[in-house]
Amino acid sequence: MKIDLHIHTNKSADGELTAKEIVLRAKKLDMDIIAISDHDSVSALSDAVKWAKEYEIDFVPATEVSAVMDDGTLLHILGLNIDYQDQRFIDRENEVKNKYRGFAEIMMQKAWDFGFKFDAKKVIEVSNDGLVDPESIGEIVLQDKRNDDDERLKEFRAGGKLADNPYFNFYREFYAQGKPCYSNLDFSLPLKEAAKLIHDCGGIMILAHPFHNIGFNEVKLKEIISYGLDGLEVYSTYHDQKAIDYYYKKAKKYNLLMSVGSDFHGRNKPAIEIGCLNFDRNEVDKLIAKIKKCKRF
């Protein structure tokens, strides 16, 4: 069984492919079950449902909600098997995209102030629907020959340790929370509200790539669980074996479901493919069984 419950289309600011292209790619890779879970977006899901039916792939409608804890820790919360036609998701997507467009100049200014050289028009050209993201900035920065001798970018180039996914790694090194170009985009929902939105719309609440956001902090994990968390994305491309083992044990300890997700984006993460992860079939089957109990499409 080949399963991937965390895939992005070009409806995410940092995704590349359309819903149809994702389904065709999944079919070519012999996937059995996939979920498209765009960042704060549901607009690819109607097309995805249609194409998944045509190509006979089990499809789970999903989204990845940007959330924030009381102490400011940013989280990504997957809502699996949601009623994506609920107006609350549609309204939120419109609100987030409008805010995102307003932050384009701020994010680029952070890079300029940090000393990177690039053409803003080229950044906008490679961005989805005017949604400038750190990966788009990184792509143009790395292509700009004025940065060729910048030692800070050495590891992003061929042969460097960050060259596997250079644009995504540019985000992680310079724009992630706590990094020098970090920009507080201020559209994350309070965790309590994110949990309510997902559950009110019939979804299963999964903490995406937990190690990336909270490391091995069990106190924070317990706080997230208190909001009705249903499961953990134990199997993630963000997780090495140590992180997988840790979150496997925590899922068992707190009776949480286990999910698997590549976090496929296309060109921003070229080293990551749909369905690229191995996982404990028996554990992930428990999540699939819950999804199928109230399967929407």
Q: How many domains does the chain have?
A: 2
For 90-110, give the secondary structure using H, E and C: HHHHHHHHHHHHHCHHHHHHH
Calpha distance 75→73 (Å, rounded): 7
* pLDDT tens column, 72-129: 999 999 999 999 999 999 999 999 999 888 899 999 999 999 999 999 999 999 998 8
Same domain, 7 and 22: yes
Same domain, 96 and 118: no
Same domain, 198 and 260: yes
Residue 190: beta bridge partners? 68
Same domain, 203 and 236: yes
Same domain, 94 and 141: no
Same domain, 152 and 270: no
Q: Mark which of 175, 205, 223 sits at the end of a domain.
A: 175
Q: Record the tokens describing residue 81, joined without a space.
A: 């098997």
Kindly state whether residue 183 falls inside one of the protein's structural domains.
no
* pLDDT tens column, 164-192: 999 999 999 999 999 999 988 778 999 99
* pLDDT tens column, 212-248: 999 999 999 999 999 999 999 999 999 999 999 999 9
User: Whole-prediction pTM value?
Assistant: 0.93
Same domain, 38 and 123: no
Same domain, 75 and 135: no
User: Which of helix, strand or coil describes residue 88?
Assistant: helix
Same domain, 122 and 206: no
For 236, phi then psi, to 5°, come to: -145, 150
Residue range of the domain that includes 195: 3-100+191-293
Same domain, 208 and 231: yes
The CATH number of whichever domain residue 215 belongs to comes to: 3.20.20.140
The whole-number pLDDT of residue 297 equals 57
Q: Mark which of 147, 175, 203 sits at the end of a domain.
A: 175
Calpha distance 203→199 (Å, rounded): 5
Same domain, 91 and 218: yes
Q: Mark which of 145, 175, 205 sits at the end of a domain.
A: 175
Kindly state whether residue 180 falls inside one of the protein's structural domains.
no
